[in-house]
Amino acid sequence: MEHEFDAEAYAKAAAAAAGLPLDPRHLPGVALNLRLAARMAEIVEAMPITPADEAAPVYVVAREVPK
Amino acid sequence: MISAATSAQSVRAGEVTATELVERALADIAARDGSYNAFTEVTASRARAEAASVDAAIAAGRDPGPLAGVPYAVKNLFDLEGITTLAGSVIEKDRAPAARDAFLVRQLQAAGAVCLGALNMDEYAYGFTTENSHYGPSRNPHDTARMTGGSSGGSAAAVAAGLVPLSLGSDTNGSIRVPASLCGIFGLKPTYGRLSRAGSYLFAGSFDHLGPFARDVRDLALVYDVLQGVDAEDHAQQWRPIEPASPILEAGVAGLRIAVAGGHFACNGHKEAFGAVEVVARALNVTAKIEIPHAATGRAAAFLITMAEGGNLHMPDLRMRPDDFDPMTRDRFLAGALLPAHWLMQAQRVRAAYRAAALKVFDEVDVVITPAAPYVAPLIGQQMVEVDGEEIPVRPNLGIFTQPISCIGLPALAVPLADPSAAGAPGGLPIGVQLIGAPWNEQALFRVAAVLERAGVVGSPADR
């Protein structure tokens, strides 16, 4: 994935979509961190999971506060 | 440095007043903190008022609490009433002062402890070094040219330098355990959900833990016991009974199954990190080895989730005033705000699967020993380090052994080698190991740490 990932182009497009002004001075550092994140994403993608594997955070509707 | 336990005993016995202790500590901070840059604010008026209150309680025959007159300080992401909570930033300087103390600060005050101030940290806790561009780097008391580690670097420096016997920090990916190792002190990251985080500035809430630093096991247990308590204001807190550590410090390790972790935890560092594990294992007669499955994957998941949660949290300021962020954190927050949703959700599902696999380890063992940090404290400003024959960035790698553990909320206690040279630590600089337990089994970690301390294997090495 990493070699195909144009981090600068992605950063510009995603920032525009998210309404995040991205100063060109910050772009190299942002792209560097996105490429690092892409390597982490590759590791995460490599772990076999099934549709039964739910996300870690679990919504709780209410809890009874102990006395 | 007089321990917290001894100080409290002396105050309770009327051998010294809390006011005398506080005045000594304030003078010491004024004289020496310039070398360490641990404090960003000294709360002298508050400290004097709290000390006077303790002394008044004793004079009136009331119980002043188990930490009577003990000085402490907190990472500057804890709310202190009347002071703006900086979280290492300049952006927060514009916010209103905190209306009341954080929950854990209130617990300490109720126990008679005296707050001396707020401590340096990486901006918004996003770092492992406390090289804060706004407030300057905190400096390692064992070599002021070196990092303290982070993000609770000021908290570690203040205790390691003997300015206070106790401090509080936070640990999202290793921010208590890494500086504890680099500064040669004890640091506890309890189970996720054990201690209330109400009144602290979060970073990545699904990983954020709070915990204490101390120079010996007895003090660490004493403060940990006081910090426990139910608080409805932290939605992540699990409302468990108080499970104190102080009463079990003499229990020994008989019956505990202990093993050294291999795989991910046996590479990615320097010889002193693994030497420290060997020294501790030998002292405990531990030969068993285990694997924490998918640890590297867990670290990757933590990396992505942290980026995304942090970026989202700071989006308003990233949009409006990105140049007011510390250059050390800004680009990471910006990138985190832009991660594809798929990466984040995959990381959250992998996190749960990794947790399920890792928890099976505790069917076989009670305590796992790993390195706490991959090497001794790097030089302030150092960019790269050689690991396993490869030049890699020094900063993110500091959390290589802690991140997989906080990712799934396991309790972990960082203990410093009393003699770092026994592990081959260059220059005798501090190095620690990480004791890891099953969820809610902090007591087992304290039992192991206490045995190691009594054997002289772990302990805060003397400041040089």
Same-domain status, B264 and B199:
no
Does residue B306 lie within any of the structural domains? Answer: yes
Q: What is the pLDDT of residues B108-156, one digit of tens each?
A: 999 999 999 999 999 999 999 999 999 999 999 999 999 999 999 999 9
Q: How confident is the model at residue A4 (pLDDT cuts 50, 70, 90)?
A: confident
Whether B282 has a pLDDT exceeding 70, the answer reads yes
Average per-residue pLDDT for chain B: 97
Of B228, B248, B268, which residue is a domain's last?
B248
Does residue B463 lie within any of the structural domains? Answer: no
Average of pLDDT values for B170-190? 98
The first and second tokens of residue B204, run together, are 């990545």
Q: Least CB-CB distance to B355: which of A10, A45, A56?
A: A56
B114 backbone dihedrals φ, ψ, rounded to 5° = -125, 120
In angstroms, what separates the C-alpha of B316 from chain A's closest C-alpha?
9
CA B313 – CA B191 distance, rounded (Å): 23
Q: What is the pLDDT of residues B444-464, one digit of tens each?
A: 999 999 999 999 999 998 654
Nearest to B163 by CA among B357, B33, B296: B33
Same-domain status, B431 and B376:
yes
Q: Least CB-CB distance to A47: which of B235, B297, B336?
A: B297
Q: How confident is the model at residue B1 (pLDDT cuts 50, 70, 90)?
A: confident
Q: How confident is the model at residue A2 (pLDDT cuts 50, 70, 90)?
A: very low
Whether B289 has a pLDDT exceeding 80, the answer reads yes
Specify whether B289 is catalytic. no
Same-domain status, B377 and B233:
no
Q: What is the pLDDT of residues B34-43, one digit of tens each?
A: 999 999 999 9
Average of pLDDT values for B279-299? 98
**In this complex, do B297 and A26 lie within 8 Å of one another by their Cβ atoms?**
no
**In this complex, do B349 and A30 lie within 8 Å of one another by their Cβ atoms?**
no
Nearest to B433 by CA among B109, B268, B140, B186: B186
What are residue B209's DSSP bridge partners? B171
B91 vs B1 pLDDT, higher one:
B91
Does residue B97 lie within any of the structural domains? Answer: yes
Q: How many Å separate Cα A52 from the centre of its chain? A: 22
Cα–Cα distances (Å) from B59 to B10, B24, B195, in that order, read 14, 21, 32
Q: Which residue type is seen at B288?
A: A
DSSP-derived 3-state class of residue B368: strand
Same-domain status, B226 and B343:
no
Beta strands at B432-437 and B412-416: parallel, antiparallel or unpaired = antiparallel
Of B230, B248, B266, which residue is a domain's last?
B248
The first and second tokens of residue B80, run together, are 């202190």
- From the number of C-beta atoms within 10 Å of its C-beta (0-12, 13-18, 19+), residue B363 rates as exposed
Could you give the residue ranges of the DSSP H alpha helices within B60-139?
Answer: 103-110
- Number of domain units in chain A: 1
Nearest to B71 by CA among B19, B128, B131, B146: B19
In angstroms, what separates the C-alpha of A21 from chain B's closest C-alpha?
6
ipTM of the complex: 0.96
% of chain B with per-residue pLDDT over 70: 99
Whether A1 has a pLDDT exceeding 60, the answer reads no
Nearest to B261 by CA among B435, B453, B440: B435
**In this complex, do B349 and A11 lie within 8 Å of one another by their Cβ atoms?**
no
Of B193, B216, B248, which residue is a domain's last?
B248
- Chain B residues interacting with chain A (CB cutoff of 8 angstroms): 206, 230, 232, 235, 239, 294, 296-297, 300-301, 303-304, 307, 315, 318-319, 322-323, 330-332, 334-340, 343, 345-355, 396
Same-domain status, B218 and B150:
yes
**Mutation choice for A interface testing from B173, B207, B321, B349 by most A CBs within 10 A:** B349
Nearest to B128 by CA among B422, B377, B451, B304: B377
What percent helix, strand, coil does chain B show, rounded to 5?
40, 15, 45
Whether B355 has a pLDDT exceeding 70, the answer reads yes
Same-domain status, B180 and B304:
no
Cβ(A35)–Cβ(B331) below 8 Å:
no
Does residue B388 lie within any of the structural domains? Answer: yes
Question: What is the CATH number for B389?
Answer: 3.90.1300.10
Q: What is the pLDDT of residues A50-67, one digit of tens each?
A: 999 999 998 889 888 776
What are residue B222's DSSP bridge partners? none
Average of pLDDT values for B336-350? 98
pLDDT of residue B463: 54
- Residues 31-50 on A with a CB inside 8 Å of B are 31-34, 36-37, 40-41, 43-47, 49
Cβ(B415)–Cβ(B186) below 8 Å:
yes
pLDDT of residue A3: 55
Does residue B360 lie within any of the structural domains? Answer: yes
Chain A residue with minimal CA distance to B296?
A43
B75 backbone dihedrals φ, ψ, rounded to 5° = -50, 140
Q: What is the pLDDT of residues A12-53, one digit of tens each?
A: 999 999 999 999 999 999 999 999 999 999 999 999 999 999
Average of pLDDT values for B185-213? 97
Structural domain harbouring A41: 1-67
B253-256: which pairs have CB atoms within 8 A and are 24 or more residues apart? B253/B284, B253/B447, B253/B448, B253/B451, B256/B366, B256/B367, B256/B444, B256/B447, B256/B448
Specify whether B175 is catalytic. yes
Q: For residue B388, give the DSSP letter.
A: T
- Number of domain units in chain B: 2
Nearest to B410 by CA among B186, B107, B189: B189
Whether B350 has a pLDDT exceeding 70, the answer reads yes
Same-domain status, B52 and B170:
yes
Specify whether B151 is catalytic. yes
pLDDT of residue A66: 73
% of chain B with per-residue pLDDT over 90: 99
Structural domain harbouring B329: 258-454
Q: What is the pLDDT of residues B394-443, one digit of tens each?
A: 999 999 999 999 999 999 999 999 999 999 999 999 999 999 999 999 99
Q: What is the pLDDT of residues B361-403, one digit of tens each?
A: 999 999 999 999 999 999 999 999 999 999 999 999 999 999 9
Same-domain status, B269 and B241:
no
